[in-house]
Amino acid sequence: MSRPTITTHLDTSATPAWLMNKVRTIADRAAAGNLRACPHLATTPTRCAAAWAPDHIACPTCFPLLDPQGAEDNTCDRCRREVDTLNLNLAFCGPLLYAYGLCDFCMTTIDLEAP
């Protein structure tokens, strides 16, 4: 596993604080060398991360390998409630594509702060 480098250009005006905090956690872990990375990051400009796999980073090709495990598959990444159906969301923060799942309630109140 190679040590990833993430340079984020964060637009805090458009992104809710709870989501920014999650993205910052990924960037901090990368800076500290605490992320597991796929071996292709040196050859692709895009880095993919997901709320349900906070210790991983991957290229777009390897991104499907970050499948949620167990209950995480049905847990809203904002309110942490378990629901039947999650809505997949993607946020671009500079070169980082960040995926997260929201329940129907949070999907329609995305601009609210974390509960």
Token couple for 3: 């040590």
In angstroms, what is the minimal distance from the CB of 99 to Zn ion?
15
- The residue among 20 and 100 lying less far from Zn ion, judged by its C-beta, is 100
- The residue among 62 and 97 lying less far from Zn ion, judged by its C-beta, is 62
In angstroms, what is the minimal distance from the CB of 115 to Zn ion?
8
In angstroms, what is the minimal distance from the CB of 68 to Zn ion?
15
Residues that bind Zn ion (CB under 5 A): 38, 40, 59, 62, 76, 78-79, 103, 106
- The residue among 76 and 91 lying less far from Zn ion, judged by its C-beta, is 76
The residue type found at 9 is H
